[in-house]
Amino acid sequence: GQQVMQIPQYQHVQEGEDFTTYCNSSTTLSNIQWYKQRPGGHPVFLIQLVKSGEVKKQKRLTFQFGEAKKNSSLHITATQTTDVGTYFCAGPQAGGYQKVTFGTGTKLQVIP
Amino acid sequence: DGGITQSPKYLFRKEGQNVTLSCEQNLNHDAMYWYRQDPGQGLRLIYYSQIVNDFQKGDIAEGYSVSREKKESFPLTVTSAQKNPTAFYLCASTSRTSGMGTGELFFGEGSRLTVL
């Protein structure tokens, strides 16, 4: 079945440093979504990318969708303590658009 | 306000007992999902439903059952056959979209089940 892996599993950064998490799917995705889960909370939607090679920005966050629609990345510039949490990618397999598989997640810790 | 309501928030169960977790949404979404999350782990799909009276197994359906008799409700039963049921359970829903895959998932606040 479809597998979605993320690296790294954990990342500790000093406040102000940049952070990147990578997402790789074993199958082609219809789209890719990114979520953030704060400790003790539930995942909250950040963004969705649909087109091959698409790049979107939200303030300090930059999201990319790979040309083959099998990988994606999230980059945070100049991290802040409010960025702490676990970041998940998620996506439906192409052709199976209702089954949404989540990545393994990257837990970000920001040291003030 | 529109959203997803999960109950109970915390639940304790003795081994051998079935327990049902409630998930209700008033977002008029067609698709609903149940995920399981273990400490420090990602979300694993248990069951999902695209439409009323229809549902499909996810990646870890063994020991769980669901029903979808109404559009707004998607209860999950954790049966005694589930060998390690202690976990955080998350329900989600989304509107159906075609061509671009699913829309964003809206999550409930989760139900934390502990088996004693």
Q: Is there a contact between A37 and A86 (Cβ–Cβ < 8 Å)?
A: yes
Contact B42 A103 (CB under 8 A): yes
Give pLDDT < 50 ranges for chain B.
none
Contact B48 A44 (CB under 8 A): no
Q: DSSP string covering A25-75, please?
A: ESS-BS-EEEEEE-TTS--EEEEEE-STT-EEEETTEEEEE-TTSSEEEEE
What was the pLDDT predicted at A52? Answer: 95
What was the pLDDT predicted at B101? Answer: 62
| Reported confidence tier of residue A97, pLDDT bands at 50, 70, 90 | low
Q: What is the pLDDT of residues A47-71, one digit of tens each?
A: 999 999 999 999 999 999 999 999 9
What was the pLDDT predicted at A95? Answer: 66
What was the pLDDT predicted at B98? Answer: 53
The residue in chain B having the minimum alpha-carbon distance to the alpha carbon of residue A41 is B109
Average pLDDT over chain B, rounded to whole?
91
Contact A105 B42 (CB under 8 A): yes
What was the pLDDT predicted at A17? Answer: 98
Percent of chain A residues topping a pLDDT of 90: 83
What was the pLDDT predicted at A99? Answer: 86
The residue in chain A having the minimum alpha-carbon distance to the alpha carbon of residue B40 is A107
Phi (first) and psi of residue A76, to 5 degrees: -110, 125
Element (H, E) at B103: none
What was the pLDDT predicted at B83? Answer: 87
Q: Is there a contact between A111 and A13 (Cβ–Cβ < 8 Å)?
A: yes
What was the pLDDT predicted at B53? Answer: 94
Cβ partners under 8 Å of residue B25, min gap 6? B3, B4, B5, B32, B72, B73, B74, B91, B93, B106
Contacts of A98 in chain B (CB under 8 A): 31, 48, 50, 56, 96, 102
What was the pLDDT predicted at A2? Answer: 80
Contact A42 B96 (CB under 8 A): no
Q: What is the pLDDT of residues A8-49, one digit of tens each?
A: 999 999 999 999 999 999 999 889 999 999 998 999 999 999
The residue in chain A having the minimum alpha-carbon distance to the alpha carbon of residue B45 is A101
What was the pLDDT predicted at A96? Answer: 60
Contact B42 A44 (CB under 8 A): no
What was the pLDDT predicted at A1? Answer: 76
Contacts of A31 in chain B (CB under 8 A): 100-102
A and B: number of Cβ contacts within 8 A: 72
The residue in chain B having the minimum alpha-carbon distance to the alpha carbon of residue A103 is B42
